[in-house]
Amino acid sequence: MTVPIRNHDIAELRRLDLAHHLPAQADHRLIASLGGSRIITRAEGSTIFDGEGNAILDGMAGLWCVNVGYGREELAKAAYDQMLELPYYNTFFRTATPPPVKLAARIASKMGGHLSHVFFNSSGSEAVDTVFRLARHYWKLKGQPQRRIFISRWNAYHGSTVAGVSLGGMKAMHAQGDLPVPGVEHVMQPYLFGEGFGEDPDAFAARAAQAIEDRILEVGPENVAAFIGEPVQGAGGVIIPPEGYWPRVEAICRKYGILLVCDEVICGFGRLGQWFGHHHYGVKPDMISMAKGLSSGYLPISATGVADHIVAELREKGGDFVHGYTYSGHPTAAAVALANLDIIEREGLVERTREDTGPYLARALATLNDHPLVGETRSLGLIGAVEIVREPGTNKRFLDKEGEAGPVVRDLCIRNGLMVRGIRDTIVCCPPLIITHAEIDRLVSIIRRSLDEAEPILRALKPE
Ligand code: PMP
């Protein structure tokens, strides 16, 4: 079906945006100085179009979420049909509706193993909040109420709510709102390029895992509720841990009887070439949070996967778990998620990412390694990163400071027709899982051209 292209008055939208809208995660002074936001008006496949008519290859799948790409009529139809039949009903007070029940069973079959139940929420942050409250509630039911501490990593991203920011390891976020809340401990991240440059990857993995065990021993294992981590850190800069890291983390959690939680909000639904990121690393978490790719961003929906032994505790001990949202199990969002999973399965997007497009992206990114500004390229499945450095073969940044080069290269990429993010000095990409080889070639060639254009600008930088 061809959707008619609507005309928007972009100048008026930008005026209204400044007059009335506070966009998310934004520097409001900067946006005002630039005359308002870039207005994205439509999208098709892996391409977004802005109000000025520019076609931009969406190297970020929206915000790490549009796994099946844009323009899926099937998903619009699923929402339309469900809205006419039953747009909304809740799951409080012993009620349920067909879509979330079917979706729970479908997700359970994808999670496999002892992860047999899901709790629905709307956003990734809420899925993490559910982890936070359920883990502490579980330990109370188990008669170990002192197990309240969560161990997380610096530079982790677990959302923007109070619990999400607290569990996350972003210092700038902690500074706004007097966070973290008590009971969260942060340890080093498994960032080989940044924190173990030149170190043997396995020795580094052992060192990063040891930091977790050390902290557990410091605070007392009997006080620790859970460890939480993204299989691959996304918003922290696409940090792909060395292979030996996760099995060691799992062993440490088991040794001290601590719950293992994987935040799969980005890694879930095919991103790493498996249904879930923890499947790639071969570990068995006790809870997982998922969102984004669950509905490919077409409607907000998230879920928290819960292991049998936690569900058994809730069932045996009884009493209300007084937690949940108006939109927990939203029928229309769940119907869209079901149709989205149909597409992922029918088009084999998980396998294609693992066997075809993921390795293709890795090879394409690796061609950038000869560029004088590139310190490393890395990817797993369809999530990747390019590290920008002052001298090749090192991890030295421009002006010996983080964050000088990233925004320059990112802005050039966008101007050259590619949406990517610059996280400090790391250019990251996370394209829709439907991306083609030709589009991957274009993605990489735009990064190269943008690096070429950035080089004279960056080499001319002078300390203030
Ligand atoms: N966890 C992870 C790993 C994420 O990447 C994100 C979002 N980028 C969140 C949680 C929070 O999700 P949301 O923005 O939907 O609240």
DSSP 213-234: HHHHHHH-GGGEEEEEE-SSBS
Cα(32)–Cα(18) distance, integer angstroms: 7
- The dihedrals phi and psi of 379, each to the nearest 5 degrees, come to -160, 160
Q: Is the dihedral of CA 184, 190, 196, 199 positive or negative?
A: positive
Give the Å distance between the CA of 235 and the centre of ligand 1.
Answer: 8
Residue 314 pLDDT > 80, yes or no?
A: yes
Average pLDDT score over the chain = 97
Q: What is the pLDDT of residues 21-69, one digit of tens each?
A: 999 999 999 999 998 899 999 999 999 999 999 999 999 999 999 999 9
The secondary structure of residue 356, as a DSSP letter, is: I
Q: What are the structure tokens assigned to 309, written together?
A: 């032994």
Q: In the structure, what pLDDT confidence band is assigned to residue 451 with cuts at 50, 70 and 90?
A: very high
* 230 Cβ below 6 A of ligand 1: yes
Q: What is the pLDDT of residues 97-127, one digit of tens each?
A: 999 999 999 999 999 999 999 999 999 999 9
* Alpha-carbon 347 to chain mean position: 22
Q: What is the widest separation between alpha-carbon atoms in the chain?
A: 67
Q: Which atom of ligand 1 is nearest to the CA of 230?
A: 3
Residue position matching structure tokens 């339309």: 80
CA-proximal residue: ligand 1, atom 1 (nearest): 158
Strand order in the sheet with 302-307: 115-121, 302-307, 287-290, 259-263, 224-229, 149-153, 184-187
Give the Å distance between the CA of 124 and the centre of ligand 1.
Answer: 4
**Could you tell me the CATH superfamily of domain 38-71+348-460?**
Aspartate Aminotransferase, domain 1 (3.90.1150.10)
Positions of CATH 3.90.1150.10 in the chain: 38-71+348-460
From 230, 266, 290, the mutation candidate for ligand 1 (largest count of ligand atoms within 8 A of CB) is 266
* 127 Cβ below 6 A of ligand 1: no
- Which amino acid is residue 199, in one-letter code? E
DSSP element (H, E) containing 385: strand 383-388
Positions of CATH 3.40.640.10 in the chain: 74-347
The secondary structure of residue 37, as a DSSP letter, is: P
* 425 Cβ below 6 A of ligand 1: no
Collapsing DSSP to helix, strand or coil, 108 comes out as helix
CATH architecture of 74-347: 3-Layer(aba) Sandwich (3.40)
Collapsing DSSP to helix, strand or coil, 95 comes out as coil
